[in-house]
């Protein structure tokens, strides 16, 4: 079944692809989800072209970027502000990806973003306590 | 004491390396982004300044306004530009440039690699050689922890 929200991971280096592999170890195959790496030698314009090609004609896109303030997150934020059907979050981790996969069954758009954010914040715990 | 201008060529403008490393290293609380395209795009500006701490001032100006701003700055300033062509214009319009830090020059077909993450076109090589002739110290340094690699040593 085609999911309504396409997920694209935007990362410094190639770890986004590995993150999908790791998430699939836990929850099984994740469809309509891919990763685009930004490498040190990449031009921003070229990276943006790859993102746009991947977004294609999707009804809705959720960009999950790694470092807040880093270039992948900055680009995600520009798309989120300029394109109506694009939503974005920073602070990518395994909890976020698994949460996004689960929550996109139920939510979309800004509601989806808020639901993921709320869930991910809850998962950062002091495990000594 | 005269104020310092840290010129940096970085296609990504304000990002993690600037926030985490360069502002602390230089002690600058002023950033000047000189880029014609960014100067007229408030959305890109809002994104680039989103993560800056509150004590950092940032201006996004086109080349001619940037040159005017530089001539009247009374404090140290971290000056960011996307490419060498922009710096050449800034220099030719009368800004005093002593040192230039290059972070990266991204790859495009037809460019040649002179160092890690540094790809130059013929036009860029000409600009670099012109800067050297003008006795401007041009060096490659992604973050302050890296050693400075002088362009003069790569383009002999």
Report chain B residues whose CB lies below 8 A from the CB of A79.
Answer: none
For B42, the domain range is 5-154
A4-8, A13-17, A121-125, B2-6: range with lowest mean pLDDT: B2-6
Contact between residue B101 and residue B139 where contact means Cβ atoms under 8 Å apart = yes
* In chain A, % of residues over pLDDT 90: 95
Low-confidence ranges of chain B (pLDDT < 70): 1-2
Interface predicted TM-score (ipTM) of this complex, two decimals: 0.85
Phi, psi angle pair for B4, to nearest 5°: -100, 145
User: Does residue A60 lie in a domain region?
Assistant: yes
Edge-to-edge strand ranges of the sheet holding B5-9: B57-61, B30-34, B77-81, B5-9, B99-102, B137-140, B149-150
What is the SS3 assignment for A63-116? Answer: EEECCCCCHHHHHHHHHHHHCCCEEEEECCCHHHHHHHHHHCCCCCHHHHHHHH
- Which tokens in the block code for residue A56? 């294609």
Closest listed residue to residue B88, CA positions, set B113, B53, B38, B123: B123
Mutate to test the interface with A, among B106, B118, B142, B146 (most CBs of A within 10 A): B106
Split into its structural domains, chain A has a count of 1
For A56, the domain range is 5-123
Chain B nearest-CA distance from A77, in A, is 6
Report chain B residues whose CB lies below 8 A from the CB of A43.
Answer: 11, 106-108
In angstroms, the CA A62 to CA A123 distance is 20
Whether residues B11 and A82 touch (CB distance < 8 A) is answered with: no
CATH code: domain of residue A115 = 3.40.50.510
- pLDDT band at A4, cuts 50/70/90? confident
Chain A nearest-CA distance from B3, in A, is 28
Predicted confidence (pLDDT) at residue A1 exceeds the cutoff of 80? no
Tens digit of pLDDT for each residue in A53-84?
A: 999 999 999 999 999 999 999 999 999 999 99
User: Does residue A128 lie in a domain region?
Assistant: no
At B156 the pLDDT is 78
Whether residues B48 and A40 touch (CB distance < 8 A) is answered with: no
At A2 the pLDDT is 59
| Chain B: residues touching A (Cβ < 8 Å) | 11-12, 14-16, 19, 43-44, 46-48, 50-51, 104, 106-108, 116-117, 119, 142
User: Does residue A55 lie in a domain region?
Assistant: yes
What does pLDDT average to over chain A?
96
* Chain A residue with Cα closest to B104: A41
Predicted confidence (pLDDT) at residue A33 exceeds the cutoff of 60? yes
Split into its structural domains, chain B has a count of 1
Report chain B residues whose CB lies below 8 A from the CB of A42.
Answer: 106-107
User: Does residue A75 lie in a domain region?
Assistant: yes
Report chain A residues whose CB lies below 8 A from the CB of B16.
Answer: 12, 67, 69-71
At B3 the pLDDT is 83
At B72 the pLDDT is 92
């Amino acid at each position: 079944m085609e999911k309504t929200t396409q997920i694209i991971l935007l990362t410094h280096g190639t770890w986004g692809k590995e993150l999908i592999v790791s998430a699939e170890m836990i929850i099984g195959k994740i469809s309509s989800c891919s990763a685009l790496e930004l490498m040190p030698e990449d031009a921003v314009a070229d990276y943006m072209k790859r993102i746009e090609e991947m977004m294609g004609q999707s009804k809705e896109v959720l960009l999950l970027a790694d470092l807040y303030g880093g270039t992948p997150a900055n680009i995600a934020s520009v798309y989120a502000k300029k394109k109506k059907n694009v939503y974005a979050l920073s602070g990518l981790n395994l909890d976020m990806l698994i949460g996004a996969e689960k929550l996109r069954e139920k939510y979309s758009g800004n509601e989806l973003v808020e639901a993921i954010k709320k869930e991910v914040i809850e998962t950062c715990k002091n495990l000594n306590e | 004491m005269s104020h310092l201008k840290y010129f940096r060529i970085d296609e990504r403008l304000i990002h993690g390396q600037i926030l985490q490393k360069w502002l602390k290293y230089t002690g600058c609380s002023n950033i000047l982004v000189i880029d014609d395209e960014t100067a007229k795009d408030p959305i890109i500006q809002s994104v680039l300044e989103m993560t800056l701490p509150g004590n950092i001032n940032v201006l996004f100006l086109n080349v001619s306004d940037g040159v005017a701003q530089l001539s009247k700055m009374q404090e140290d300033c971290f000056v960011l530009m996307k490419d060498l062509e922009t710096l050449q214009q800034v220099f030719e319009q009368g800004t005093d440039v002593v040192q230039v830090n290059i972070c990266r020059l991204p790859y495009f077909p037809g460019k040649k690699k002179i160092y890690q993450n540094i790809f130059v076109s013929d036009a860029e090589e000409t600009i670099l050689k012109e800067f050297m002739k003008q006795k401007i110290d041009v060096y490659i340094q992604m973050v302050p922890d890296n050693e400075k690699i002088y362009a003069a040593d790569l383009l002999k």
